[in-house]
Amino acid sequence: MKTLVLTLVAQRDATTLSDDIIATAQECMHSTHSPSVLSPGEAADIICPADAAERLPLLQAALGDKPVDAVLTHPAARRKHLLVSDMDSTIVAGETLDDLATHAGIGDKIAAITARSMNGELDFATALRERVALLKGFPASLLEKAWQDVRLNDGAKALVQTMRAHGAYTALVSGGFTFFTERVAALCNFQEHHANTLLSDNGFLTGETGQPVLGPDTKLHLLNTLSQRHHLAPEQALAIGDGANDLPMLQAAGLGLAFFAKPVVREKITAQINHTSLRTALFAQGYPASVFPGP
């Protein structure tokens, strides 16, 4: 009999994955299996019938405002051999271009365009050109100041390092800039990174990017290229992102995770992290917390 695996993860700082929450999930999903604990009080797997996906909305309604994420996966090929992750608002907490604009004193103008782009209201390439053009003439040294504001999201290092330790290949891909992806990739130990190039001349930003612009199609192409290069089937890939430009790769991956995603993404991607951290991307693959690296 075919089955699915329900992974429940509680927000560690706000609540505990209690026996009552697990019992509610078992009832909603018609599961008669005992949970497999991945992290005491935080995460557990529950084997469910193959039609459990139809009852996921019922479970989410039963959980209400409890800060608990519920992700359904297929038991076959749970542990992915490829990770392709977005950077801004996924691996790092903010939008690096918005941070750069804040230091330039035009944060509100650029953040408004960013929000429309991530919600799918503007073509990505057009939105990027508009935002970068507003930076023309500002000193390139602002990039270093913006870097000082960058903070990794909880679980980012653990995600990359755990998957690499178990044989996965990892790539960071962003519609932002290589100035940031190079540094974030090094911090987390990604094996490669891809982004746009922000052009400067004599120490000042030109208001242009290198061509071609890396956008949604490029992210999907990278996922497919790396899968082929490493001789992996689509179901062996994990993609994570939050914005409209991540949708093509999220939909193509064996497991596409919407991480605190924009509404347009949550409407189309079932596997979502809305309350917890990037640790959930490991739990959803069946990894116990005992194999995560230390701080």
Kindly list the catalytic residues: 86, 88
Query: What's the rounded Cα separation, in Å, for the pair 92 and 170?
Result: 16
